[in-house]
Amino acid sequence: MKEDYLKQIQTVIDYVEAHITEELSLSRLAQVARFSDFHFHRVFESMAGETVMEYVRKRRLARSAYQIAHSNERLLDIALENGFQNHETFTRAFKRMFELTPADYRKKGIKPPEYPKLNVLQRKYNPYLGGIRMEYRIVTKPAFKVIGYELQTTTSEEKIPVFWQEYLQNGWSGRIPNRVHRDSPVELGICHSFDMDTGAFTYMIGMEAEHFEGVPSDLVCRKFISSEYAVFTTPKVPHDRFPSSIESTWKSIFEEWFPHSGYEHSGASEFELYDERCHPGRSEVQMDIYIPIKRKGA
């Protein structure tokens, strides 16, 4: 159930606090949560708003800042004690977060509080989509080919909406050959090649293709394996509410549906499907989200 998911993620957060000076890996923390690595990565990210390893890094830096301000320990000793391998790595990470080097932070006499750990049990979640029950179906999609354009990004960046704008404004869809859906374009937004430590992944906008012959050199060709998917359709909304509707559906999948579904993320590529239901001429629009799944424990 959803409450169990919250408790499992909080158990990981508590474990991080108790073992912050030790070597921590995503796989080790996934074992604490009793999830597979990839499912844990996506669930933690959804609930915490960042990847688990980014959370660990920030907790180590917060602890370091407190020690720098409230003790006379050597900066190198503080760095090593908090899991940083050397002074240079520690200094770079510290400056990115606090905009000061550790030495300057101490010189300025800043006295930070003991920043509290995250508590997901105190966060409030709205069940389903603002009262609209989530409908879904389970499908097995055979292996498929896609031709399109790619972007390297992370979960914390805002590059994808800009990428879609560029794609639409420049009419890039017209350059995609060998389409499976020739009469009415069906466009896919695919997330693949996840780096679970950094939150980086590749985002592809494209269309399913029959073959890869005669493809312009600046386009990307990808093959995706056959997978079982849970397919969610966003509620019908006016165009101006479409982005928030999509975001809400993604959030609810991980925070509301997965906990009581009997499934977990399989680690394969996930994607959004845009067809005639979201064309500009319609007063209300919707689309489908495909999440690759497997039975828990499978």
**What residue spans define the domains of the chain?**
2-120, 136-295
The distance from CA 62 to its chain's CA centroid, rounded to whole angstroms, is: 23
User: What is the pLDDT at residue 182?
Assistant: 87
User: What is the pLDDT at residue 5?
Assistant: 84
Find the angle CA(50)-CA(131)-CA(231) to the nearest 5 degrees: 60
Q: How many Cβ atoms from other residues are within 10 Å of residue 127's Cβ?
A: 12
User: What is the pLDDT at residue 211?
Assistant: 97
Query: Given this chain, do its domains 2-120 and 136-295 carry the same CATH topology?
Result: no
pTM of the model as a whole? 0.71
Decide: 53 and 93 in contact? Cβ < 8 Å: no
User: What is the pLDDT at residue 98?
Assistant: 84
* 136-295 classified as CATH 3.40.50.880: no
The identity of residue 214, as a single letter, is G
Integer Cα distance of 138 and 128 in angstroms: 18
DSSP-derived 3-state class of residue 154? strand
Q: How many Cβ atoms from other residues are within 10 Å of residue 96's Cβ?
A: 10
- Kindly report the CATH class assigned to 2-120: mainly alpha
Q: Per-residue pLDDT for the chain (298 aa), expressed as one digit of tens each?
A: 456 888 899 999 999 999 998 889 999 999 999 999 999 999 998 888 788 998 999 899 989 998 998 999 999 999 999 988 888 999 999 998 888 899 998 988 888 777 788 888 765 443 333 333 467 899 999 999 999 999 999 877 889 989 999 999 999 999 999 999 988 889 999 999 998 888 899 999 999 999 999 999 999 999 999 999 999 999 889 998 898 889 888 888 887 788 878 899 999 999 999 999 998 888 999 999 999 999 987 6
User: What is the pLDDT at residue 236?
Assistant: 86
